[in-house]
Amino acid sequence: MRAALMVLFAVVPALAADEALPEAATILDRYVEVTGYPGPPPIDAIRGDVVSSVSGDPVAKLSTSSDLVNRMWSIGIWGQRGNFLSIPTDCPQRDERLGWMGDAGVFWRTGSYNFDIAAFSQKFIQDITDAQNRQGAFTNVSPNALPSSADESEEAPPESDRIGAPGWGDAGVIVPWTTWVQYGDAAVIEQNWDAMQRWMDFIQSRNPDFLRKNGVGPNFADWLAPDENTNKELLATAYWALIAKMMSQMAHAAGKEADAKRYDDLIGNIRAAFQKAYIRDDGEVGTGTQTSYVVALYTKMAPEALEPLLVDKLVKDIEVRNWHLSTGFLGTPFLLFTLADHGRTDVAYRLLLNDTYPSWGYMLVKGATTWWERWNGDTGDPSMNSYNHYAFGSVMAWVYRYAAGIDATPDSPGFKEIVIHPHLDARMSAARLEYDSIYGKIVSDWKGTPAGPFLLRLTIPANTSAKVFLPAIAGAHLMEDGNPVEAQAEKGSYVVRVGSGSYNFEVK
């Protein structure tokens, strides 16, 4: 009888049964030392099994006309499998393997599309609240395994590792909010409301002028941005506004109207302080980095009348860099959303489909099979350079929600009323996304360009409805299964509301 050796790989993600092996997968070779085996072992004497907390197939399956985007989806699946093991580690392959909150916060929306992580989210949120200190501060790492030279008293220095940095500690709000939006279970709000409020109170008590300068821990700012000049306090203040908005939305959902008003008032105060401190009349924001413009626009800190100026300056900076991004961990998740929401979907796709440095495609051109920690992982500092960090993989939330066009909103969490809104560009002429929501499978399968024609095959599961956005092509006719359809005009689109079922929409 042939002896069999079993090796458990906790660090090498597995392919799903229907996934092809990427050409660059050979760089993931691992070595096994075998002793005591009678003779040279044949290759089939060893079986490698992946250990991961996200078992089974992804709940999102994506295919597009862009081979680059398809490969981006695949390496994101690999990276999440490798890092979601009991906790969401920042990387699985070196002597860190910690639940870094900043990585989790920016990635959680993408991760909740990739796999069903409802239960995993509950467990990690418990780790977050368990690590919260007596002052009410969330930490940079959960569970908090980092050494700290400071205690948790009021005299502890602001750089203490016990105080989470902006974007890192804020994951204590971002992860519960994301879990609620994606899965629709308001229990996550009730169970963690007190902990989240303590974090919000911690921030406000140290920043009575509504500019987030104090209580920021080891402020990491826009981590690993090619342009490192973003003002730290500006970025911190914008993230404060971001989580205040999330708190307001969760308060409304939980029937806590007094709290909702309090957070709405807080947002107004932060906006007034932000505008006075960081926005000039000519539309210049802070130090003029891409991240400065992105967070000001995304969190609606800028006066509405100045938004076109900010968008123009953002696009100009991208153009000056030969149509490349310069954002880091905290700015990147909102970059493509900001562009698309302000009429520059063309620039969003241009960044998405780049394959020169710095870009997502650059990693793939260089052989990446999971997301890199740095945009320049091939040339960056070898002392802190991971080839399996999922933070920049946050871009796939835009692909799922805006390119493929399946979205859930705080107004109807858990995909009760689904938003179907493909954002089109001539450089990617087709996308198909199947997403297994808590109500069942949603399918958005479209082909077309902004100039038309456009075809959308749609599946909406039972007990749900959908608000469907179709391109408003001049002189075109809107049909469903060959029959004319009445639609309302909204923001340059035709809008149709439908119930559960299968649909074939055509704009021609």
Instruction: Tell me the mean pLDDT in the region 364-373.
Output: 96
CA pair distance 345, 337, nearest whole angstrom = 9
pLDDT band at 449 (very low <50, low <70, confident <90, very high): very high
Instruction: Tell me the mean pLDDT in the region 312-332.
Output: 98
In the predicted structure, residue 14 carries a pLDDT above the cut 50: no
CATH superfamily of 419-507: Maltose phosphorylase, domain 3 (2.60.420.10)
Q: Are 418 and 181 in contact (CB under 8 A)?
A: no
Secondary structure (DSSP) of 427-465: TB-EEEEEEEETTEEEEEEEEE-TTS-EEEEEEEEEEEE
Buried b (16+ CB within 10 A) or exposed e, 274-313: bbeebbeeebbbbebbbbbbbbbbbbebbeeebbebbbeb
In the predicted structure, residue 236 carries a pLDDT above the cut 90: yes
Instruction: Tell me the mean pLDDT in the region 199-205.
Output: 98
Catalytic entry in 373, 434, 480, 506: 373
pLDDT band at 46 (very low <50, low <70, confident <90, very high): confident
Catalytic entry in 19, 33, 96, 506: 96
Q: Which of 299, 244, 289, 236 is nearest to 266 (CA)?
A: 244
How many degrees, rounded to 5, is the angle at CA 32 between CA 30 and CA 34? Answer: 170
- Provide the 3-class DSSP secondary structure of residue 505: strand
The rounded percent of the chain whose pLDDT value lies above 90 is: 82
pLDDT band at 455 (very low <50, low <70, confident <90, very high): very high
So what's the pLDDT on residue 13?
Answer: 40
In the predicted structure, residue 147 carries a pLDDT above the cut 80: no
190 annotated active-site: no
486 annotated active-site: no
More confident site: 471 or 51: 471
In the predicted structure, residue 369 carries a pLDDT above the cut 90: yes
Name 327's Cβ contacts closer than 8 Å, sequence gap at least 6.
Answer: 222, 225, 226, 227, 290, 291, 294, 335
So what's the pLDDT on residue 38?
Answer: 87
Instruction: Tell me the mean pLDDT in the region 179-205.
Output: 98
pLDDT band at 82 (very low <50, low <70, confident <90, very high): very high
Name the pTM for this structure.
0.91
Residues of the chain with CATH 1.50.10.10: 50-404
pLDDT band at 120 (very low <50, low <70, confident <90, very high): very high
For 50-404, give the CATH class. mainly alpha
In the predicted structure, residue 430 carries a pLDDT above the cut 60: yes
Out of 92-101, 287-296, 323-332, pick the least confident: 92-101
Q: What is the helix (H) or strand (E) element at residue 343, kind and residue range?
A: none
So what's the pLDDT on residue 227?
Answer: 98
Instruction: Tell me the mean pLDDT in the region 373-388.
Output: 90
pLDDT band at 160 (very low <50, low <70, confident <90, very high): low
